[in-house]
C-alpha cells in the first residue's frame, strides 16, 4: 500500500498582498476563503481561484495576489519513499533512545562511608 505524504503550508494574504513561492511537482493551491489571482512562470494563462477551489501547479515559480483577505494553502506531495525513509529513521532513533535510557542509572547513588 502506498501512503501519500503531503506538506501543507497555510498563507494569509491581505488585499493586493503578493506572495511568491516555488510549487514543486504535484503541488496544488487551495483557497479556504477569499480569492487569489495566480500566475505561474512558464504558463501562458493566469487564474483566479475562489473560496473552496483548488488549482494544480506545473512545478514552476508562482505568484499569488490576494483579491480580498484570503487564506490559501499550498499542498505539496512528497514521494512515498521519503515518508517511508522518515519512518525508518524515527524507528531507529527510538530504539537507540530506549537503549541509552536503559543504560542510565536512575535514583540516588549509595553514599560511601569515609575510611
Q: Pick the more confident residue, 107 or 31.
A: 31
- State the residue range of the domain holding 10: 5-78
Asked whether residue 110 is assigned to any structural domain, the reply reads no
pLDDT level of residue 18 (50, 70, 90 thresholds): very high
Asked whether residue 60 is assigned to any structural domain, the reply reads yes
How many domains are there within the chain?
1
Asked whether residue 59 is assigned to any structural domain, the reply reads yes
65-103: pLDDT as tens digits: 999 999 999 998 776 666 667 778 888 888 778 777 777
- The CATH number linked to 28 is 2.60.120.10
Q: Can you give the pLDDT at residue 14?
A: 95
pTM above 0.75, yes or no: no
The residue whose grid cell reads 525513509 is: 85
Asked whether residue 25 is assigned to any structural domain, the reply reads yes
Amino acid at each position: 500500500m502506498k501512503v501519500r505524504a503531503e506538506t501543507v503550508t497555510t498563507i494569509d494574504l491581505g488585499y493586493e498582498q503578493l506572495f511568491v513561492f516555488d510549487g514543486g511537482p504535484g503541488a496544488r493551491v487551495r483557497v479556504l476563503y477569499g480569492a487569489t489571482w495566480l500566475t505561474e512562470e512558464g504558463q501562458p494563462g493566469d487564474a483566479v481561484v475562489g473560496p473552496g477551489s483548488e488549482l494544480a501547479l506545473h512545478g514552476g515559480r508562482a505568484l499569488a495576489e490576494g483579491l480580498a483577505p484570503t487564506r490559501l494553502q499550498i499542498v505539496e506531495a512528497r514521494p512515498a519513499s521519503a515518508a517511508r525513509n522518515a519512518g525508518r529513521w524515527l524507528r531507529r532513533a527510538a530504539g537507540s533512545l530506549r537503549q541509552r535510557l536503559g543504560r542510565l542509572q536512575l535514583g540516588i547513588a549509595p553514599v560511601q562511608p569515609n575510611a
